[in-house]
Amino acid sequence: MRQYRLFVAAILLTIFSVNAQEISDTSFGKGIINYVAKDSSFSVKFAPRIQGRYMVAWNHDGNDYGSGETNFLIRRARLKFDGFAYSPKLKYKIELGLSNRDLSGANQFNRNTPRYILDAVIMWNFYENFELWAGQTKLPGNVERVVSSANMQLIDRSILNSRFNIDRDMGIQLRHHTSLGGEVVMREKLAVSQGEGRNITEGNEGGLQYTGRLELLPFGEFASKGDYSQSDLKREPAPKLMMGVTYDFNQDAVKTRSNLGNYMFRSDGSLYETDITSIFVDAMFKYQGFSFMGEFANRDAEAPIATEADGTSTTDEDGDPTGDVVLVGNAFNLQAGYLFKNNYEVAGRFTTAAYESVTNRAKEEQYTLGVSKYLVGHKLKVQSDITYATAGGNEDFIEFRIGFDLHF
């Protein structure tokens, strides 16, 4: 742990000592450092960011809501570096997480160490519109997950994302885009990854994970890559639409949520393996301050109930499995907002997640209403939202959140 703290401190000391005698011509939101070598052989952009929030939740006990449980939290504190090396066609991105939520997840497969690395990837534009990515980064999954946590419309992502997304992994990706005539653009993304999530160091316990995504933009590209940023901050003068579909196959997966969740251990210490399939269908639309995002997610498994090596499984008196079970089911997420000209935005979201009976989990529904004030776009903003949730058709909880984002 100590060596990582020293590493981060050394980075920051180097950055600030290099620039201590200089006045930078950069501006807020463009990164603390934007450095290009004199011979144009490399560049570095350094941009830290912080997300803080306050939350209070009231759980429903069947009669009324009791006293709320409060929590102050630094949800994200990150250091981001990106640029190019040797040639502008060879780009890189490094992102380190420092908050407790980013560091958690130490286990025997990552040598019981904090998970500092979020992204460490190189991106090589090797031919025309083709790019080869190698390293650890987000897989081309549902649009809500690929949208950066720095660019969200509400305080945090939906339960569709938290239950079913495929997140980050280590591997390679091939990406391509082409014009189909007029303004129509098509993008294809393929990935082969380890299948166990980020920062795994101790081998590949299961099989590999294969991901493919196809995107169609019938009215041309969004301003400033707005199809992967929530809210219509650019107030698109003409309608813009992105439609996407993702298919993901994790062969011999060993975790309860594909490459996320808990490892499925047997009593003898070995890991249970099963094939897991995830499908996402989503869309992003923006026009003159109005934005809409819709998503569908589905996860299925060849044999979702973990068994012992001899094929037996243990159950309770009701017949429900007592061991690990893959979280299979599906979810819908609908989210929309309108940005006023004074940079206030009102947004709403409805999400439902239904699970197969083997999971012994009740159907969830959440209704969220939020208000945001963008001071410098997503780089400096204050947000607040309130959520009403049900489980199994019964009242579950109400949660109020307020927070800020500061991104250099």
Given this model, what pLDDT does residue 20 score? Answer: 45
Longest CA–CA separation in the chain, Å: 72
Q: Is the pLDDT of residue 21 over 60?
A: no
Nearest 10 degrees: Cα torsion 218, 220, 225, 226: -60
pLDDT digits (tens, 9 = 90+) for 362-399: 999 999 999 999 999 999 999 999 999 999 999 999 99
Of residues 316 and 395, the one with the higher pLDDT is 395
- Percent of the chain at pLDDT > 90 equals 83
The DSSP symbol for 222 reads P
186 to 182, 218, 245, 257: CA distances (angstroms): 12, 8, 12, 29
Q: Is the pLDDT of residue 3 over 70?
A: no
pLDDT digits (tens, 9 = 90+) for 165-223: 999 999 999 999 999 999 999 999 999 999 999 999 987 898 999 999 999 999 999 99
pLDDT digits (tens, 9 = 90+) for 225-258: 999 999 999 999 999 999 999 999 999 999 999 9
pLDDT digits (tens, 9 = 90+) for 71-124: 999 999 999 999 999 999 999 999 999 999 999 999 999 999 999 999 999 999
Q: Is the pLDDT of residue 67 over 80?
A: no
47 to 79, 92, 247: CA distances (angstroms): 6, 14, 33
Given this model, what pLDDT does residue 386 score? Answer: 98
Given this model, what pLDDT does residue 94 score? Answer: 98
pLDDT digits (tens, 9 = 90+) for 273-307: 999 999 999 999 999 999 999 999 999 999 999 99
Architecture of domain 2-407: Beta Barrel (2.40)
Of residues 162 and 313, the one with the higher pLDDT is 162
What does the alpha-carbon distance between residue 279 and residue 113 come to, in Å, rounded to a whole number?
A: 32
What does the alpha-carbon distance between residue 15 and residue 171 come to, in Å, rounded to a whole number?
A: 30
Which helix (H) or strand (E) segment holds residue 257: the answer is: strand 255-257
